[in-house]
């Protein structure tokens, strides 16, 4: 087919131990999925999971052992970090039961759900969509994907974030309110998942602002670190 102008190149994430990359379809994100983060945002209790999306081209793909660059975004004075476990879907489906979820997972990565918190809070107050606070350019840094079989026990892994070498976030994936399998069950009831989808599973407590010049290092035990410099 001939196009009016060149289509955008596919967005892809490198995979450990593979020469082939993971082509990204959609990015789903789970809101308030750790209790102590829900509390710091002014909410309590276990509510049904809720979701928002980021376009695939908001990814900042950081290859193994490298430090990525994220430009400080426009319109905000309160850019927050949210360290998250990211699930890479290898096989699509709808109405996937939690007990079957593992069959649909290709692997895992460390991601950052960067957030223009001031804009998100304005939108929340007005009952408007979060897009401007969440789905902005370069808002989704991600490290390499580790295939499921090599990822270890990710559901019980330490998760953390350091900024300029100091601890900001530290928790365990076991504290997810809705675990990975339950998240896939809920998500696939609302959308048909496709191979290439990424799911940012939510952040633990400790979210706070970063500024130009900061270096963020995100970790999930068993996966490659994610290092990002704010430029």
Q: How far apart are CA 4 and CA 191, in angstroms?
A: 30
- 201 near Mn ion (CB under 5 A): no
224 belongs to the binding site for Mn ion (CB under 5 A): no
Nearer to Mn ion, 132 or 195 (CB): 132
| 82 belongs to the binding site for Mn ion (CB under 5 A) | yes
Residues 99-138 touching Mn ion, rule: CB under 5 A, are 113
CB of 4 to Mn ion, least distance (A): 36
Contact window for Mn ion (CB under 5 A) among 14-22, 74-82, 99-107, 181-189: 74-82
Contact region with Mn ion (CB under 5 A), list: 17-25, 40-48, 64-72, 75-83 = 75-83
CA distances from 82 to 1, 52, 172 (A): 41, 14, 14
Stretch that binds Mn ion, among 99-107, 125-133, 151-159, 201-209 (CB under 5 A): 201-209
User: Which is nearer to Mn ion, 113 or 185 (by Cβ)?
Assistant: 113
Long-range CB contacts (< 8 A, 24+ apart) of 47-50?
48/186, 49/177, 49/178, 49/182, 49/183, 49/186, 49/187
Work out whether 203 is an interface residue with Mn ion (CB under 5 A).
yes
Residue 228 and residue 231: Cα distance in Å, rounded?
Answer: 9
Whichever of 112 and 154 has its CB closer to Mn ion, that residue is 112
In the complex, the residues that contact Mn ion under the rule CB under 5 A are: 82, 113, 203
């Amino acid at each position: 087919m001939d196009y009016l102008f060149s289509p955008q190149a596919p967005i892809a994430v490198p995979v450990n131990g593979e020469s082939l990359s993971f082509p990204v379809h959609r990015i789903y994100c789970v809101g308030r999925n750790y209790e102590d983060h829900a509390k710091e945002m002014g909410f309590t209790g276990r509510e049904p999971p809720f979701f928002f999306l980021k376009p695939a081209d908001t990814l900042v793909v950081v290859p193994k052992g490298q430090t990525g660059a994220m430009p400080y975004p426009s319109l905000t004075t309160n850019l927050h970090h949210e360290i998250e476990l990211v699930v890479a879907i290898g096989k699509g489906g709808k109405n996937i039961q939690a007990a079957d979820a593992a069959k649909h997972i290709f692997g895992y990565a460390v991601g950052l759900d960067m957030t223009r918190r001031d804009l998100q809070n304005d939108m929340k107050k007005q009952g408007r969509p979060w897009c401007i606070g969440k789905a902005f350019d370069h808002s989704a840094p991600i490290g390499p994907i580790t295939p499921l079989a090599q990822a270890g026990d990710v559901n019980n892994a330490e998760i953390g974030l350091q900024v300029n070498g100091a601890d900001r976030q530290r928790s365990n994936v076991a504290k997810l309110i809705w675990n990975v399998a339950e998240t896939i069950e809920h998500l696939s009831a609302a959308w048909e998942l496709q191979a290439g989808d990424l799911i940012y599973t939510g952040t633990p407590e400790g979210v706070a602002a970063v500024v130009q010049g900061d270096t963020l290092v995100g970790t999930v035990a068993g996966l490659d670190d994610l290092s990002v410099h704010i430029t």
